[in-house]
Amino acid sequence: MFLGRLEEMAGRPFQDIAASAPLDWTDVIGWLGDCCSTALLDAVRGEKVRVAINGALVADKEGLILSDGDELAFLPPVSGG
């Protein structure tokens, strides 16, 4: 899932990752590099973009491990209210 401005950068709100689990951060970055723009890749790697798996925030995104069927969300800084 790409939230906020990341959706525009990705050109889509979500995308299936067609790869066999488990996936780590290096795999995710590699997949993003293949599917999307370098601007999106740079944004996602930046410290301002947080990550959630199945709706739970991940404290250290570079240490994440994805299993089959997990929903990974990229969350740019919020600007609500």
Partner 1 sequence: MSDVRLLTAPFDPAAELSAFTAAHPQAGGIVSFLGQVREGGGCEALELRHYEPLTLPAMRDLAARVRDRWTLGGLLVIHRSGVMLPAEPIVLVAAAARHRRDAFAAADFAMDHLKSESWFWKREKQGGEWRWIEPREQDFEDIARWA
Q: Which residues bind partner 1 (CB under 8 A)?
A: 1, 3-5, 8, 52, 54-55, 57, 71, 73, 75-81
Q: Which residues contact 25 (CB under 8 A, 6 or more apart)?
A: 61, 62, 63, 64
Least distance (Å) from partner 1 to the CB of residue 8? 7
Three-state DSSP at 54 gives coil
Least distance (Å) from partner 1 to the CB of residue 26? 25
For partner 1, which is the closer residue by CB, 14 or 33?
Answer: 14
Least distance (Å) from partner 1 to the CB of residue 48? 9
Partners of 24 in the beta sheet? 65
Side chain identity, residue 22: P
Side chain identity, residue 51: V
